[in-house]
Amino acid sequence: MSKPKVGIFGLTGCGGCQLEILNLEDQLLDLIHAIDIVHFTEAITEHSDNYDIALIEGSVATRHDAERLEHIGKIAKIMIAVGACACTGGINCLKNLYGVEKAKELVYGDKKGWIDAIETKPIEAYVKVDYYARGCPPTRTEIVDIIKSLIVGKVPEIPNYPVCIECKRLGNTCVYDLGKTCMGLISRAGCGARCPSAGVGCEACRGTIDDPNVNAQKDILVKYNLTVEDIMEGFNLYNGCKKIEQKIK
């Protein structure tokens, strides 16, 4: 693909993924020369409805999000979900767990009728997604790698092995030995094991690998005298929209 036209869009989310693109600093100018960014509301005023690739940040949490996403899906040839909110529904799924109507009542009280809010879903619930840049936030390298691969016409390589492998390679002390829980055994690598390296258990913000070794996870829980419930709360942080607890149980 020669210089592709790219649109960068945000649905319901924190804007952090779009910020990670601006945070490319060393590579930002190269990226701007390699692609033609025609839509990026957070950063530029010019805008267009003519793009080949759409990068979507955020989950679908309002009717308005759903309409916009379907509109973008009709135009873009390639859809890339960027970040946990777009890929798995992310932290916004906690709203579903609380209950959408109950949440509207709690935050907006008797004015809840003014509020457009629906059950949170990842974007794949509405459009076909070609590639996923996972994580909260995704790594800058992965976003760039996906775009670079598309420009040179190859399929981006996304790790399908667990965070544990990256973590071991770095020689970290296992966070279970620090008395904490960790989802690194079943979560998708590619983040460089950022959280365990900083002394915090993996929160599975990149979702699970395709075929997680659920038995190994269970063995670890037994070894450290923990239950599935002990890790499920944490797992719901970014995966509340998926019924992954069924898999582990």
Partner 1 sequence: MAKNLNIEVSPLSRVEGHGDLVIDVKNKKVEKLMLRIPESPRFFEAMLVGRNWTEPSHITSRICGICSVAHTYASIKATEAALGIKVNEQILKLRKLIFHHECVQSNTLHVYFLAAPDFFGAGSVVSLIETHPEVVNIALRLKKMANDMVRIIGGRAIHPISTVVGGFTKLPTEEEMYQMKDMLKAAYADLETSLKVLKTLKLPQFERETEYLSITDKKDYALYDGDIKSSDGWIIDGKDYLSKIKEKVVEHSTGKHCWASRDAFMVGALSRFNNNFDKLSDNAKTYAEELGLKAPCYNTFMINIAQFVEIIHCIDDSIKLIDELMVSGLDENKAIVSVKPKAGRGVGVVEAPRGLLIHDYTYDADGKIEKANLIIPTNMNYINVEKDMAAYLPLIIDKSEDEIRLAMEMLIRAYDPCISCSTHFLNVKLVNN
Query: How many other CB atoms sit within 10 Å of the CB of residue 8?
Result: 24
- Residue 102 interacts with partner 1 (CB under 8 A): yes or no: yes
Least distance from partner 1 to the Cβ atom of residue 11, Å: 6
Dihedral sign, CA of 93, 94, 97, 98? negative
Count interface residues toward partner 1 (CB under 8 A).
66
The 62-81 contact track toward partner 1, x by CB under 8 A, reads x-xx--x-------------
143: exposed, middle or buried (Cβ count in 10 Å: 0-12, 13-18, 19+)? buried
Q: Do the beta carbons of residue 144 and residue 27 sit within 8 Å?
A: yes
CA 202 – CA 199 distance, rounded (Å): 9
Least distance from partner 1 to the Cβ atom of residue 156, Å: 22
| Cis peptide bond upstream of 159, omega within 30 | no
- Residue 51 interacts with partner 1 (CB under 8 A): yes or no: no
- Read off the tokens for 113: 């009728």
- Residue 90 interacts with partner 1 (CB under 8 A): yes or no: yes
Query: How many other CB atoms sit within 10 Å of the CB of residue 11?
Result: 22
Rule CB under 8 A: choose which of 1, 161, 165, 199 binds partner 1: 199
Classify residue 90 by its DSSP letter: G
Q: Which is nearer to partner 1, 114 or 153 (CB)?
A: 114
Binding site for partner 1 (CB under 8 A): 9-20, 22-23, 25-26, 28-29, 32, 37, 39, 41-47, 49, 57-58, 61-62, 64-65, 68, 90-92, 94-95, 98, 102-104, 106-109, 111, 114-117, 136-137, 194-195, 197-200, 203, 233-234, 237
